[in-house]
């Protein structure tokens, strides 16, 4: 019997505020953090107007935004977890890391030289993990997972393997992505952005809104904590670079894989934090997958992206931090933005805040590159 | 971590004639796939082809790919287009193909693998970090076999940016690209294998401590940032300025391209910020 992996701290900077508590309060009240961006001056103006997105309400100089966001979220989570005498490892999930600074540097340069060309001589995405390791005084392993929108969920799963394998006693898991031109205009080019606030699992859904932020979980082996991290699963769906099979088979497989690795059965699951992007195919695949995985009584599920936007590589960690924050506050959040059921999906997300159930909670993440990750957490 | 229970079942690398090797490996051309993906596919496929087919039968094979800078040959032109001063533009296909895990996706697809698929990007320790994830995943029961690769690509026309991204401006060596792959399995599943991953360690350490931790019967192979390292068991440092050069060098020692006479060898390296890694591999018989 291995020591439990206790989730002892969490923190998040998101469109709903600079702390988890801010976001939990907003989710209880059903507020959304989506709107026209006002702080992200580096986003180039294409097709008229700045993007509508889940921008974090962080007021600091533009070129300090990325590092400040990470620092704040890590501080919140580590403060909640308390000190640790053991070896700390850092596990980061991000799609762009601090590379967004190239966008921001170009923005500043073009204020005086409109014809300036971009310079990409920036470190790789692993820079974030090195910075967090310095911040928390980590002496253990550092690893950065660059797996599109599953990046920080994969970091959670990897942290569990490290803790079980003994490479560290504490894992600081970080998900981070800032609004960047590459992603804002990339998703726009794929026609995946809804011009209205997104509506995950709704029959009228028409795409996503991007968001930004940083989410952090602190996991301690053998410590006391409100939640225990169980097992995980990671599968690849090679049918399509940009989405999972819409019959739900891959989603079902990854959920069942996570439950099997956790040594629990579907009947023990009391909630599912859905990936729920608001795009037609993701929600079809995920909704059908949830229906297939839970045939004997379906647990409530919800997407948080209608409230904070799709924070890409950060989504797994931010949404886990917010979900755990809500559970810790005694409630399960509703699926923001949902209004009308989609008969093709066949399942309906949670439409209202409800009392937090106790049991096993499943966290889904899916992404480009065929990546599918799920992990399970149990109330201690 | 010490991991005497993990064997290396096969290895392969590729670094030149990418187009011809890709065509020879797959027998046909692929649209919209650049050198980065082709390097990954050829290396991975060659590694699997070198393995005992019996070991692969009914195995849940995970892909663990390390890359320091990712698919820069796709991402940099995409960024230039989006940030163009007068006519910003973005190709949707190029955007989708620029994600960090796209190469691992194409490796899984071309090799018909549907297990775990992990892409790690940890600066100069990206291959080492992917190797550690693979060993842990094997020991955690998440996969039966692990296909571990290191890959980075280079646009010679953008060498200055490449060196800046490596934080290697002014260092001795030459910019390079390529991919190296290992197929790993737990000893219990692959008895009789004589090449073991003895240790993969990543953490904070100064260079002296890092080297002192290598076994006394191991040759120490320094990474390119440790070019000044000297000692009785220390080989010349890596000269390829490439985040994942360790993947190529490990394969070269295993296939005899680089001669190491001791029963074990320890690759050591560190990032510009100070995180260090040591990988020890032992051959017997």
ipTM for the predicted complex: 0.95
User: How many CA atoms within 13 Å lie on the side-chain side of B150?
Assistant: 27
A110-114, B51-55, B167-171, B225-229: range with lowest mean pLDDT: B51-55
Nearest alpha carbon to residue A93 among A172, A183, A207, A187: A172
Per-residue pLDDT, A268: 98
Break chain A into its structural domains and give their ranges.
Answer: 5-379
The interface residues of chain B toward chain A in range 31-90, judged by CB-CB distance below 8 A, are 62-63, 67-70, 72, 75-76, 78-80, 82-83, 85, 88, 90
Per-residue pLDDT, A300: 98
For chain B, what percentages of helix, strand and coil (3-state, to nearest 5) are there? 35, 25, 40
- Judgement on whether residues B154 and B200 belong to the same structural domain of the protein: no
Give the three-class secondary structure for A256.
helix
Chain A residues with beta carbon closer than 8 angstroms to that of B85: 110, 114-117
Q: Taking CA atoms, what residue in A is nearest to B101?
A: A147
Q: Is A263 on the interface with B (CB under 8 A)?
A: no
Nearest alpha carbon to residue B208 among B218, B222, B194: B222
β-bridge partners, B240: B174
Chain centroid to CA A96: how far?
14
- Please say which residue of B148, B167, B186 terminates a domain: B186
- Judgement on whether residues B105 and B220 belong to the same structural domain of the protein: no
**Two tokens at B68?**
């320091």
- Point out the residues of chain A with pLDDT beneath 50: none
The interface residues of chain A toward chain B in range 281-300, judged by CB-CB distance below 8 A, are none
- Judgement on whether residues B133 and B271 belong to the same structural domain of the protein: no
Query: Quick one: which H or E segment has residue A225?
Result: none
Q: Please tell me the distance from the alpha carbon of residue B178 to that of residue A75, in angstroms, as a whole number.
A: 39
- Judgement on whether residues B116 and B254 belong to the same structural domain of the protein: no
Classify residue B224 by its DSSP letter.
G
Q: Is A35 on the interface with B (CB under 8 A)?
A: no
Three-class SS of A90-157: EEEECCCHHHHHHHHHHHHHHCCCCCCCCCCCCCCCCHHHHHHHHHHCCCCCEEEECCHHHHHHHHHH
Are B105 and A241 inside 8 Å of each other by CB?
Answer: yes
Q: Taking CA atoms, what residue in A is nearest to B104?
A: A369
Q: Taking CA atoms, what residue in A is nearest to B108?
A: A238
Nearest alpha carbon to residue B74 among B87, B56, B93: B93
- Judgement on whether residues B147 and B249 belong to the same structural domain of the protein: no
Q: Please tell me the distance from the alpha carbon of residue A249 to that of residue A292, in angstroms, as a whole number.
A: 8
Contact between residue A178 and residue A92 where contact means Cβ atoms under 8 Å apart = no
Test the A interface: residue of B73, B76, B83 with most A CBs within 10 Å: B83
**Burial group, residue B156, by CB count within 10 angstroms (0-12, 13-18, 19+):** exposed
Contact between residue A135 and residue A71 where contact means Cβ atoms under 8 Å apart = yes
Q: Give the nearest partner residue to B99 out of A46, A95, A103, using CB atoms.
A: A95
**Two tokens at A80?**
């909640």
Residue B260, pLDDT > 60, answer yes
pLDDT band, very low/low/confident/very high, at B4 (cuts 50, 70, 90):
low
How many other β-carbons are positioned within 10 Å of the β-carbon of residue B191? 7
User: How many CA atoms within 13 Å lie on the side-chain side of A172?
Assistant: 38
Chain A residues with beta carbon closer than 8 angstroms to that of B167: 123
Are A121 and B164 inside 8 Å of each other by CB?
Answer: yes
Test the A interface: residue of B44, B105, B159, B163 with most A CBs within 10 Å: B105
Q: Is A189 on the interface with B (CB under 8 A)?
A: yes
Size of chain A, expressed as the number of residues it contains:
380
Per-residue pLDDT, B254: 96
Per-residue pLDDT, B11: 96
Q: Is A151 on the interface with B (CB under 8 A)?
A: yes
Residue B277's domain comprises 195-283
- The sign of the dihedral angle between the CA atoms of A50, A51, A52, A56 is negative
In this structure, what CATH number is given to the domain that contains residue B180? Answer: 3.40.47.10
Chain centroid to CA A177: how far?
10
Quick: pLDDT tens for B21-42.
Answer: 898 888 877 777 889 999 999 9
B1 part of a folded domain: no
Q: Is B186 on the interface with A (CB under 8 A)?
A: no
Give the three-class secondary structure for A175.
strand
Q: A with B: how many residue pairs have Cβ under 8 Å apart?
A: 223
Per-residue pLDDT, A20: 98
Share of chain B above pLDDT 90, in %: 68
B120-129, B159-168, B235-244: range with lowest mean pLDDT: B159-168
Mean pLDDT score of chain B: 92
How many other β-carbons are positioned within 10 Å of the β-carbon of residue B133? 32
- Judgement on whether residues B174 and B228 belong to the same structural domain of the protein: no
Quick: pLDDT tens for B80-130.
Answer: 898 888 888 888 888 988 888 999 999 999 999 988 999 999 999 999 999
Question: What pTM was estimated for this model as a whole?
Answer: 0.97
Contact between residue B158 and residue B231 where contact means Cβ atoms under 8 Å apart = no
Specify the number of domains making up chain B. 2
Residue B192, pLDDT > 80, answer no
Per-residue pLDDT, A46: 64
Chain B residues with beta carbon closer than 8 angstroms to that of A142: 122, 129, 202, 275
Nearest alpha carbon to residue B82 among A109, A53, A46: A46
- Please say which residue of B163, B186, B209 terminates a domain: B186
How many other β-carbons are positioned within 10 Å of the β-carbon of residue A208? 25
Which residues, at least 6 apart from B57, have a Cβ–Cβ distance to it below 8 Å? none
Q: Please tell me the distance from the alpha carbon of residue B218 to that of residue B207, in angstroms, as a whole number.
A: 16
Per-residue pLDDT, A40: 94
Q: Is B111 on the interface with A (CB under 8 A)?
A: no
Contact between residue B145 and residue B57 where contact means Cβ atoms under 8 Å apart = no
- Judgement on whether residues B124 and B207 belong to the same structural domain of the protein: no
- Distances from the Cα of B250 to the Cαs of A121, A248, B126, B149, B256, in angstroms? 28, 40, 14, 11, 10
Q: Please tell me the distance from the alpha carbon of residue A270 to that of residue B74, in angstroms, as a whole number.
A: 42
- Judgement on whether residues B56 and B153 belong to the same structural domain of the protein: yes
- Please say which residue of B138, B160, B186 terminates a domain: B186
- Distances from the Cα of A348 to the Cαs of A53, A207, A248, A337, B46, in angstroms? 25, 18, 15, 12, 47
Q: Taking CA atoms, what residue in B is nearest to A153?
A: B118
Q: Is B105 on the interface with A (CB under 8 A)?
A: yes
Q: Topology of A5-379 in CATH?
A: Peroxisomal Thiolase; Chain A, domain 1 (3.40.47)
Average confidence (pLDDT) over B40-63: 92
- Judgement on whether residues B219 and B266 belong to the same structural domain of the protein: yes
Residue B1, pLDDT > 70, answer no
């Amino acid at each position: 019997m291995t020591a439990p992996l206790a989730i002892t701290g969490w923190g998040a900077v998101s469109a709903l505020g600079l702390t988890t508590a801010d976001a939990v309060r907003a989710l209880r009240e059903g507020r959304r953090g989506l709107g026209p961006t006002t702080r992200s001056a580096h986003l180039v103006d294409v097709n008229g107007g700045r993007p509508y997105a889940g921008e974090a309400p962080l007021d600091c100089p533009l070129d300090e935004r990325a590092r400040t966001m990470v620092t704040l979220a890590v501080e919140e989570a580590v403060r909640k977890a308390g000190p640790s005498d053991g070896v700390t490892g850092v596990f980061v999930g991000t799609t762009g890391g601090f590379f967004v600074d190239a966008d921001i540097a170009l923005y500043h340069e073009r204020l005086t030289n409109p014809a300036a060309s971009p310079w990409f001589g920036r470190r790789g995405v692993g820079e974030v993990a090195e910075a967090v390791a310095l911040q928390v005084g980590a002496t253990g392993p550092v690893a950065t997972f660059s797996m599109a929108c599953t990046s920080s969920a994969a970091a959670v799963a990897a942290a569990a393997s490290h803790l079980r394998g003994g490479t560290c006693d504490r894992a600081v898991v970080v998900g981070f992505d800032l609004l960047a031109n590459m992603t804002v205009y990339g998703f726009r080019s794929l026609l995946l952005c809804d011009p209205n606030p997104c509506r995950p699992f709704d029959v009228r859904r028409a795409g996503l809104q991007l968001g930004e932020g940083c989410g952090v979980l602190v996991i301690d082996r053998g410590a006391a904590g409100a939640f225990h991290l169980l097992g995980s699963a990671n599968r690849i769906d090679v049918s399509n670079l940009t989405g999972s099979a819409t019959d739900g088979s891959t989603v079902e497989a990854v959920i069942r894989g996570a439950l099997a690795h956790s040594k629990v059965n579907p009947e023990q699951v009391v909630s599912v934090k859905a990936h729920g992007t608001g795009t037609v195919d993701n929600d079809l695949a995920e909704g059908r997958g949830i229906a297939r995985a839970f045939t004997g009584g379906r647990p409530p599920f919800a997407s948080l992206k209608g409230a904070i936007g799709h924070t890409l590589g950060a989504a797994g960690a931010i949404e886990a931090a917010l979900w755990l924050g809500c559970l810790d506050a005694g409630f399960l959040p509703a699926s923001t933005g949902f209004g009308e059921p989609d008969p093709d999906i066949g399942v309906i997300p949670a439409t209202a805040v409800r009392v937090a159930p106790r049991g096993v909670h499943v966290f889904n993440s899916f992404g480009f590159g065929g990546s599918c990750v799920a992990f399970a957490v149990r109330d201690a | 971590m010490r991991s005497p229970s993990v064997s290396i079942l096969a290895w392969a690398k590729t670094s030149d004639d990418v187009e011809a090797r890709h065509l020879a490996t797959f027998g046909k051309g692929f649209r919209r796939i650049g050198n980065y993906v082709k390097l990954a596919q050829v290396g991975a496929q060659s590694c699997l082809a070198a393995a005992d087919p019996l070991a692969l039968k009914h195995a849940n094979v995970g892909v663990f790919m390390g890359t320091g800078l990712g698919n820069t040959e796709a991402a940099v032109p995409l960024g230039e287009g989006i940030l163009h001063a007068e006519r910003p533009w973005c190709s949707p296909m190029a955007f989708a193909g620029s994600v960090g895990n796209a190469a691992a996706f194409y490796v899984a697809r071309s090799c018909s693998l549907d297990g775990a698929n992990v892409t790690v990007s940890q600066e100069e320790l990206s291959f080492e970090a992917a190797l550690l994830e693979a060993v842990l995943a094997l020991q955690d029961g998440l996969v039966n076999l692990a296909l571990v690769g290191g890959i980075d690509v280079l646009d010679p026309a953008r060498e200055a940016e490449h060196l800046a991204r490596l934080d290697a401006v002014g260092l001795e060596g030459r910019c390079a690209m390529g991919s190296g792959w290992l197929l790993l399995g737990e000893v219990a599943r692959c008895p009789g294998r004589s090449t073991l991953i003895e240790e993969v360690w990543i953490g904070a350490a100064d260079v002296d401590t890092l080297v002192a931790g290598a076994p006394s019967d191991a040759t120490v192979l320094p990474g390119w940032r440790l070019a000044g390292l000297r000692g009785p068991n220390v080989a010349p440092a890596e000269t390829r300025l490439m985040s994942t050069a360790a993947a190529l060098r490990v394969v070269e020692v295993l296939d005899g391209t680089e001669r190491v006479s001791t029963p074990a060898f320890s690759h050591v390296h560190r990032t510009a910020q100070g995180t260090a890694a040591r990988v020890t591999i032992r051959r017997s018989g």
